[in-house]
Chains A and B, each alone.
Chain A
Amino acid sequence: MTMTDYKVLFTGSVCSGKTTAIRSLSDIETVDTDARVSDSAIRRKKKTTIAMDYGVLDLSETARLHLYGTPGQERFKFMWELMMSDLVHDAEGLVLLVDNTRNDPFKDIRFYVEEFRDFIVRRRLIIAVTHSDEQADPDHEYYMGELKAMGLFTTVIFIDARDPSSVLKIVKELVGHREKNIDWKGLGQRLEVNSTMPRIEVEGDQEKEPLAVSEDEPVSLLDAALNTRGITGAIHLGSDRKVLSSNVSNKQNKDLLRSMVNLVSALETKASFMGSIEDLVLCGPQQETLSVFVEEEQALGLCSEKDLSINVVKQQAVDLLQWSQR
């Protein structure tokens, strides 16, 4: 009997559920490469995937699916490229996991679609929305509308990465049309043992899920920023645009960042017909890049190495602001 091997690549932001989804589906003990977090994600979890996740799912006696997961953090981008050009160059598709609790999940989609543009040109792209139990909106209809507006005609599936039968919907979408002899019900039952869904509390059973968030000393936004590769300084401002904290030692940079925040505040009304001002970035051939990201409640200014791409700085800033503990 000939065995057909399929491959699929999971990607998405830190905490979007890549490792969990692969663990839910794998028949083998997954290979993961966790290490202590050392970037903006440190405020949300202490360990993260640094190289890749790998698992295998036996679909039937004649078909097998190899599951690969990228690290979420941009600083392991070399792994994305390595995986795309080698390990998964023959993959069936890319599953982009999108954390619905993010302030703007569509920013993540735009970022990853851009990063994986060449890879998805010839493959299926499936957008799998996670954490919708914590944050129901945007809903499926909204995703479809926004993606259409972005020119992305793709499948959107809402899943719970902890629930194997839920993640299996992705597999069915990817290979279901090619493999007609898969016993999906039986497969779901077999994978039940992988479930990491929280236990339903029954009367008299006071056992609770362990806390997902570490109870270690909280990491400040500035520490998290400085923990991020390429970021050399940060300034955090409140809704009144007064400095809450700063570790920008260079006075010139500090003054410029404040001046940039003031400019954005001054322009907000005038430019409101175009939408809100998301960010302002200042670059020079020999200078550190200065960026400010302004929200109603807070603003963040970052100094970063000149070689760090603007897109990456923006992505890191989104993470830092989203997880800021004001």
Chain B
Amino acid sequence: MTIWREMQDEGLILYGCLMFGGELKRSSFPAEYKKHLAVAKQSLTYIFRSVEKNAKGYDEAHMEIGDNLFSGFRLDKDSVVIFLSEHDANTLHIRQFIEDNKKRFFDLLNDSQPA
């Protein structure tokens, strides 16, 4: 089972993607969510870049749009994992999942096989 599917099954997220150096490396966003993915990438990349320049120490951002919630978590300086969830998703549980599974996200990022 993929890590995305596992998070979906736990009711944490709808879709997710992994970015490295501002580029999309892995994604479970389906084709019909292309526009959502574009908004997620643009907004969260921008916010983390701003943070990098002006204020170190922030590693998590959430943006509520309509019925959806975009969440971004910095795994390290260059890697960000982004999720699309229902607007009332439990961000504490998502955060905990990431803390518990950080290595799996890095493995996925380094894996050459499709996610």
Residue numbers of A with Cβ under 8 A of B are 110, 114, 252-253, 255-256, 259-260, 263-264, 267, 270-271, 273-287, 290, 309-310
Contact = CB atoms under 8 A, between A and B. Distances in A.
11 contacts: A252-B54, A256-B54, A259-B50, A274-B68, A275-B65, A278-B64, A279-B63, A281-B61, A283-B60, A285-B57, A287-B57
Contacts of A263: 43, 46-47, 50
B59 A285 contact: yes
Closest 4 CB pairs of A and B: A275-B66, A284-B58, A278-B64, A283-B60
Nearest to A114: B88
B32 to A, nearest CB: 12
A280 B43 CA distance: 10
Interface of B: 35-36, 38-39, 42-43, 46-47, 50-51, 54-55, 57-68, 87-88, 91-92
A274 B50 contact: no
Contacts of A264: 63
B47 A278 contact: no
Contact of A271 (B39, B51, B55, B60): B39
A271 B65 contact: yes
Contacts of B42: 267, 270
Nearest to A293: B64
Contact of A277 (B50, B58, B61, B65): B65
A281 B55 CA distance: 14
Contacts of A276: 65-66
A282 B39 contact: no
B53 to A, nearest CB: 10
Contacts of B36: 274
B65 A274 contact: yes
Contacts of B87: 278
A103 to B, nearest CB: 15
Nearest to B40: A271
Given A114-B88, A256-B55, A259-B54, A310 B67 contact: no
A32 B42 CA distance: 51
Nearest to B67: A275
Given A255-B54, A271-B65, A274-B39, A280 B47 contact: yes
Given A263-B47, A274-B65, A276-B66, A282 B88 contact: no
Contacts of A280: 47, 61-64
Contacts of A283: 58-62
